[in-house]
Amino acid sequence: MKRLVMLFVLSLAFLAAVAAAPLTASWIDGSVQLKTGSGWVDVNMGDQLDSAATVRLGNGATAEFDSGGRRISLTAPGVYVLDSLLHRGTETVKQRSSLLDKLAALVDPSSRTTDTTVAGVRGDLIGDQAGGGMTWESDSSDVDSLMSAARQLAHDKKYSEAAEKFGEAAAAADGDKKDDATYSQAWALAANGQTAESVKILRGMPPAGVWAGPRALLLGRLDIDSGATSEARSLLQTALDNGSLAGNDVQLAKDMIAETGK
């Protein structure tokens, strides 16, 4: 009997510890506030929060909170109870991983694929090259070097370092070359679990052009995972309406739109 009582007490203590799991604000951009007994106070990078905390994001704000191996990403304005977001199912993780794998060949050209998204982007860029416009490879040896190094890092699954290199290349390039590097940076950040930062970069990319389809798919997935379902629904529908997606990507976009209605 005493043993059962002790086990019960220990179980309660464990559950209390889990319920009060500490969270660290690992990414804050814009107005992010914590609810207190007397109102709202600003949350800054590095702040420690209880998992039972309620936070509020203003327009355009993004935030991430880490707890051990778990991360909460928020990219839409609203009020959130962090504890309710900590225990998401594995299906979301699988869907994101599947999409990142699908789009990996855009970042690492050495990956072989017959995917329609990749084939479409490559075809458009080859066409630009033949016409004397922007090319897949930069005319600048510095940008070429940065992109080559970044792609190798991505291939080696060193995503954080790859994102940094892609960012350097994006800062030095322009036109389609800049979009190539920018998209690759966002992909690497997403692959590293840095959803909010990836979303911010993708939102800053042009919504039309060679990268419109891949951008819509990746941003749509990340938006759904981080609470921005309205944006996901709108941008995916636009991509379908303007022909930015083809083949299997059309059904993929429709499936994601269906998710936003859940």
Answer yes or no: do 81 and 95 share one domain: no
- Give Cβ neighbours of residue 78 (< 8 Å, ≥ 6 apart): 56, 57, 227
Classify residue 9: in a domain, yes or no: no
Answer yes or no: do 71 and 110 share one domain: no
How many domains is the chain partitioned into structurally?
2
**Of 86, 101, 120, which residue sits at a domain end?**
86
Provide the CATH number for the domain around residue 114: 1.25.40.10
SS3 content of the chain, % helix, strand, coil (to 5): 55, 15, 30
**Of 86, 110, 142, which residue sits at a domain end?**
86
Domain that includes residue 227, residue range: 90-259
Q: Write out pLDDT tens, residues 151-164.
A: 999 999 999 999 99
Classify residue 224: in a domain, yes or no: yes
Strand partners of residue 49: 23
Answer yes or no: do 127 and 232 share one domain: yes
Which of 137, 102, 141 lies closest to 251 in space, CA to CA? 102
Answer yes or no: do 43 and 96 share one domain: no
Classify residue 50: in a domain, yes or no: yes
Q: Write out pLDDT tens, residues 41-98.
A: 999 999 999 989 999 999 999 999 998 778 899 999 999 999 888 776 556 778 888 8
Q: Write out pLDDT tens, residues 92-111.
A: 778 888 899 989 988 987 76
Q: By the 8 A CB rule, do 69 and 39 touch?
A: no
Answer yes or no: do 146 and 60 share one domain: no
Which of 194, 187, 249 lies closest to 226 in space, CA to CA? 194
Answer yes or no: do 62 and 117 share one domain: no
Strand partners of residue 72: 65
User: Which DSSP string do the residues of 128-161 spell out, in sequence order?
Assistant: HHHTTS--SS-S-HHHHHHHHHHHHHHHTT-HHH
Q: How far is residue 135 CA from its own chain's centroid?
A: 26
Answer yes or no: do 239 and 255 share one domain: yes
Q: Please give the radius of gyration of the chain, using alpha carbons only, rounded to the nearest integer.
A: 21
Answer yes or no: do 187 and 207 share one domain: yes
Which of 38, 23, 16, 41 lies closest to 82 in space, CA to CA? 23
Q: How confident is the model at residue 114 (pLDDT cuts 50, 70, 90)?
A: low
| pLDDT greater at residue 136 or residue 102 | 102
Q: How far apart are CA 201 and CA 164, in angstroms?
A: 13
- Give Cβ neighbours of residue 81 (< 8 Å, ≥ 6 apart): 52, 53, 54
Q: How many residues does the chain have?
A: 262
Answer yes or no: do 170 and 182 share one domain: yes
